[in-house]
Amino acid sequence: MLYPKKPAPADYPINEVIRQRWSPRVFSDKLLAAEKLKSLFEAARWAPSSRNEQPWRFVYATRDDRENFSRLAGLLTEGNAWAEKSAALIVILAKIKFTHNGKKNYNYMYDSGAAAENLFLEAVSQELAAHEMIGFDRQRAKTDLAVPDDFQVAAMMAVGYPATPKDLDKLEPDLKARELAGRQRLPLDKLIYKGKFPNL
């Protein structure tokens, strides 16, 4: 289970995995078997997509695979340096055009986001922790990771075993407070409109 526990203070009943998911910046230093990641990618594979195009692709490295891990970690911004301590980094790519006709797929990022969320929820349900990031050099990712032109670099994700109370105690007070901070969302009535958009 993720530590610390920060269940969403949901107003209506929701699936427990969704309720417990959050984005920690501290992980246990335990390594992650590449095989364990396969289940997460398998979950991503079964996401829905427009015309079943499956535009998502993943470039990953586990921390014990030093050469590949440092290539991915080297892309992170300073603000995301915490992710260098995760057990695995995953870059999420999205194929821009449909394979069957070469036309632009307007849902390529939308569908790849769905796959990423499947991966994230599978991680939480397998007692792992994950955190998505946009703070990395996406331009350099294209060259460093040899990404073909018809793919867009969408996001990165750090995955690992959840931190323990000891891991949190080692943190500077401000970083510890950040991990313990509560979670917030817009209220449901600001997100849903019955029938049509209101005059706001």
Positions touching ligand FMN (CB under 6 A) are 22-23, 80, 132-135, 155, 183
**Do 86 and 160 meet the contact criterion of CB atoms below 8 Å apart?**
yes
Q: How far is the CB of 131 from ligand FMN (least distance, A)?
A: 6
* CB closer to ligand FMN out of 98 and 138: 138
Q: Which is nearer to ligand FMN, 65 or 132 (CB)?
A: 132
Closest CA to 142 of 132, 153, 155, 157: 153
Q: How far is CA 65 from the centre of its chain?
A: 20
The CB-of-129 to ligand FMN minimum distance in angstroms stands at 10
Amino acid letter, 84: E
- State the Cα–Cα distance between residues 77 and 179, nearest whole angstrom: 19
Cβ-based nearer residue to ligand FMN, 51 or 183: 183
> How near is the Cβ of 22 to ligand FMN at its closest, in Å?
3
Based on the number of CB atoms within 10 Å of its own CB, is 150 exposed (0-12), middle (13-18) or buried (19 or more)? Answer: middle
- Give residue for tokens 């300073």: 78
34-45 vs 108-125: helix crossing angle, rounded to 10: 130
Task: Give 62 or 80: the residue with its C-beta nearer to ligand FMN.
Answer: 80
Q: Which is nearer to ligand FMN, 57 or 98 (CB)?
A: 57
Q: In the complex, what is the shortest distance from the CB of residue 80 to ligand FMN, in angstroms, rounded to a whole number?
A: 5
What is the phi-psi region of residue 121: left when phi exceeds 0, alpha when psi lies from -120 to 50, beta otherwise? alpha
In whole angstroms, the minimum distance from the beta carbon of 199 to ligand FMN comes to 29
Q: How far is the CB of 33 from ligand FMN (least distance, A)?
A: 25
**Measured from the CB atom, is 80 or 118 closer to ligand FMN?**
80
φ and ψ at 59, to 5 degrees?
A: -110, 125
